[in-house]
């Protein structure tokens, strides 16, 4: 299991609900033994201050009673209340899960990600992908050139940037401190 996609999803939104079959077993949400995906998802959730909502009943039943497992659960961020119930409603080895989320009470959103851009890489990519002097003969050409430029810049930023999860909450500094930092940094350059 790769957590990069989860990082992108959870860092880009203030409230997130992601649910399905994660094929991860852990004693925190599962009856039975753990599997190889367990430490990955469990550690990722723990590091990022995110919650797992799982039903108390197993969602998967095997012929061997020891292999029953809770594979379907939800991973949530900034949702104040949630509940999961496994429904014994289908003649299958999987039980569907009913989720209820209370979205009215929004929790405070801490700064949880940092985008780091490699500006040398940005310049290298942008110089190869954006034409330096487009042919412009009318207003439509101007609009198309602006749209291409904007798309090129956004794509290049995505290709030359990395998003890192933050494990600490950064408080906003008072203006006099940020001014001192700015002055100091301008003297260093």
> What's the confidence (pLDDT) of residue 138?
93
pLDDT at 137: 93
Long-range contacts of 148-154 (CB under 8 A, 24+ apart): 152/126, 153/126
Specify the 3-state DSSP secondary structure of 48. coil
* DSSP code, position 69: B
Can you read off the two tokens belonging to residue 44? Answer: 């990722």
Question: Would you state the structure tokens that stand for residue 6, as one six-digit string?
Answer: 């989860």
Looking from the CA of 113 toward its CB, the CA atoms found within 13 Å total 16
Residue 114 is given by DSSP the state E
Could you give the residue ranges of the DSSP H alpha helices within the chain? 4-11, 38-47, 119-129, 139-160, 175-188
Give residue 92's pLDDT. Answer: 76
| Residue for token pair 């899960």 | 97
Per DSSP, the three-state class of 61 is coil
Residue length of the chain: 189
The answer to whether 99 and 75 have CB atoms below 8 angstroms apart is no
pLDDT for position 50: 83
Whether the CA torsion 121, 124, 129, 134 is positive or negative: it is: positive
- The whole-model pTM stands at 0.47
* Residue 53, CA distances (Å) to 24, 25, 97, 122 in order: 13, 13, 11, 40
Question: pLDDT tens digit string along 87-140?
Answer: 887 777 778 888 888 776 555 555 567 788 899 999 998 888 887 788 899 998
Mean pLDDT by 10 residues, the chain (189 residues): 76 80 66 61 78 81 71 81 81 81 61 80 88 86 87 86 69 73 78
Tokens 């999860």, located at residue = 165
């Amino acid at each position: 299991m790769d957590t990069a996609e989860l990082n992108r999803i959870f860092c880009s939104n203030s409230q997130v609900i992601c649910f399905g079959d994660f094929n991860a077993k852990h004693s925190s949400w599962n009856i039975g033994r753990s599997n190889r995906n367990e430490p990955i998802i469990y550690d990722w959730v723990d590091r990022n201050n995110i919650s797992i909502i799982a039903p108390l009943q197993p969602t998967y039943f095997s012929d061997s009673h020891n292999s029953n497992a809770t594979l379907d659960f939800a991973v949530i961020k900034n949702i104040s209340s949630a509940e999961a119930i496994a429904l014994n409603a289908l003649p299958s080895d999987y039980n569907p899960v009913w989720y209820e989320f209370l979205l009215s009470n929004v929790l405070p959103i801490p700064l949880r990600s940092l985008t780091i851009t490699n500006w040398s890489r940005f310049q290298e990519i942008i110089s190869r992908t954006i034409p330096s002097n487009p042919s412009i003969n009318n207003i439509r050409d101007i609009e198309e050139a602006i749209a291409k430029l904007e798309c090129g810049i956004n794509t290049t930023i995505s290709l030359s940037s990395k998003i890192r999860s933050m494990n600490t909450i950064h408080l906003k500094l008072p203006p006099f401190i940020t001014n001192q930092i700015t002055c100091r940094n301008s003297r260093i350059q």
